[in-house]
Amino acid sequence: MNVEFAERVKRLPPYLFAEIEKLIKQKKAQGVDLISLSIGDPDLPPPPFIIDALKTEVADLKNHNYSFSQGEPDFRQAVADWYKTRFHVDLEQEQVVALLGSKEGLANIARAFVNAGDRVLVPDPSYPVYANGSTILNDGVPVAMPLLQENGFKPDLENVNPEKVKMMFLNYPNNPTSATVDKAFLEQAVEFARDNGIILCYDNAYSEISFDSYKAPSILEVDGAMDVAVEFHSCSKTFNMTGDRIAFAMGNTQLISGLTKVKSQIDSGPPVYIQRVAAEALASYTGDETPEFLKKNNLVYAERRDILVDRLCSLDFECDKPKATFYVWVNCKSNSMKFATKLLEVGVAVTPGIGFGEHGESFVRFSLTQPKERIEEACERLSALFQQ
């Protein structure tokens, strides 16, 4: 049989990480002691209270039936309660939908609202799902909003053309640049979306991974955001539960109901026991104080960040200490693929910025998802390489 991919699949850009992944495989096959600073998956485990809750909930035989596409009412209430505690924003259960990871929600939201040929504003560099899984696979046209170092890796909204734009994605704390924003920028983004009738999808997956007393804001804290915005959160990074696939979106009722409508034709919601566990995890927020386990988690990342950034600066690389996320975005002032390949020669894997978009070129992303000792070892190898 001669099968041909659908046109929308053919339009997906080439997978730029393939080349570097092949080299990583080769190195591993050669027995090289590879330090992988390329993956956005925490090495730290979920806290013990989550594992205990999982054991209890999975053993409850009532928790093995279908859920609802929008999620269990108790779960959505737990999300609303968490949101009130964390961001001081009121939500009705109807304004919340459970997701099988935020990646799924970010991809499916476009299916509900984007028509063929609609333009979708996508930050460049960015998490590839906005342009690919969301826009291209729903026949939309991704339009890059450059995130430049001189603008603090924020799009210059005053110079973005809103014509024929249906939807826009924003993500702060940002992957891959680790940039953060203040509320004034979010106000500008909401105003831009409202003035131009654009759906604003705000990816806040890293809101809880922050340091040095920085607390990430929510888009829904901004007046008028509820008219145009939907925000995406996830238990993946907050509770080190990437493999458990549980996340949620909240915001404008019509946007949530559109996303739910699409999902009801595709999935039947996350497993009930996972929703119950996630509800317990969210309930660990009891006031303005960050929960203890998360404070510890973030201290671990902060220590790793300091070790890596201090060493990179001592080697004359340009990089700041990020206030959030577990990424360090480094200006390597050269071809990012070549630079990442050079680091592989000493057994250190990082992600070339070009894989996140054209404007990611000349940067590489280091993930802080290895123990401190491995980060120190990686630093030694970098010193040996660049001090020759």
Ligand X SMILES: Cc1ncc(COP(=O)(O)O)c(C=O)c1O
DSSP 213: T
- 234 near ligand X, rule: CB under 6 A: yes
3-state percent helix, strand, coil for the chain, nearest multiple of 5: 45, 15, 40
- 244 near ligand X, rule: CB under 6 A: no
- Cβ neighbours around 386 below 10 Å, total: 16
Q: Which 25-54 positions form the footprint of ligand X (CB under 6 A)?
A: 40
Residue 98 bridge partners (DSSP): 248
Question: What are the two backbone dihedrals, phi and then psi, of residue 2, each rounded to the nearest 5 degrees?
Answer: -100, 90
Single out the residue of 236, 252, 290, 351 in contact with ligand X (rule: CB under 6 A): 236
Interacting span for ligand X (CB under 6 A) from 83-91, 95-103, 115-123, 297-305: 95-103
Interacting span for ligand X (CB under 6 A) from 96-104, 156-164, 253-261, 341-349: 96-104
Q: Which 211-230 positions form the footprint of ligand X (CB under 6 A)?
A: none
Query: Cβ closer to ligand X: 145 or 382?
Result: 145
Q: Are 96 and 263 a contacting pair, CB within 8 Å?
A: no
Residues that contact ligand X, how many (by CB under 6 A): 13
What whole-number distance in Å separates Cα of residue 10 and Cα of residue 8? Answer: 5
Residue 107 beta carbon to ligand X: minimum distance, rounded to whole angstroms: 9
Single out the residue of 76, 86, 103, 365 in contact with ligand X (rule: CB under 6 A): 103
Half-sphere CA count of 238, side-chain side, radius 13 A: 29
Q: Which 246-305 positions form the footprint of ligand X (CB under 6 A)?
A: 247
What whole-number distance in Å separates Cα of residue 273 and Cα of residue 63? Answer: 5
Interacting span for ligand X (CB under 6 A) from 99-107, 108-116, 294-302, 304-312: 99-107
Residue 356 beta carbon to ligand X: minimum distance, rounded to whole angstroms: 10
Q: Which amino acid belongs to residue 24?
A: I
What whole-number distance in Å separates Cα of residue 36 and Cα of residue 84? Answer: 37
Single out the residue of 98, 201, 205, 309 in contact with ligand X (rule: CB under 6 A): 205
Query: Cβ closer to ligand X: 141 or 247?
Result: 247
SS (H, E, C) 266-313: CCCCCCHHHHHHHHHHHCCCCCCCCCHHHHHHHHHHHHHHHHHHHHHH
Q: Which 126-165 positions form the footprint of ligand X (CB under 6 A)?
A: 127
Query: Cβ closer to ligand X: 135 or 171?
Result: 171
- 172 near ligand X, rule: CB under 6 A: no
Interface positions with ligand X (CB under 6 A): 40, 101-103, 127, 171, 175, 203, 205, 234, 236, 242, 247
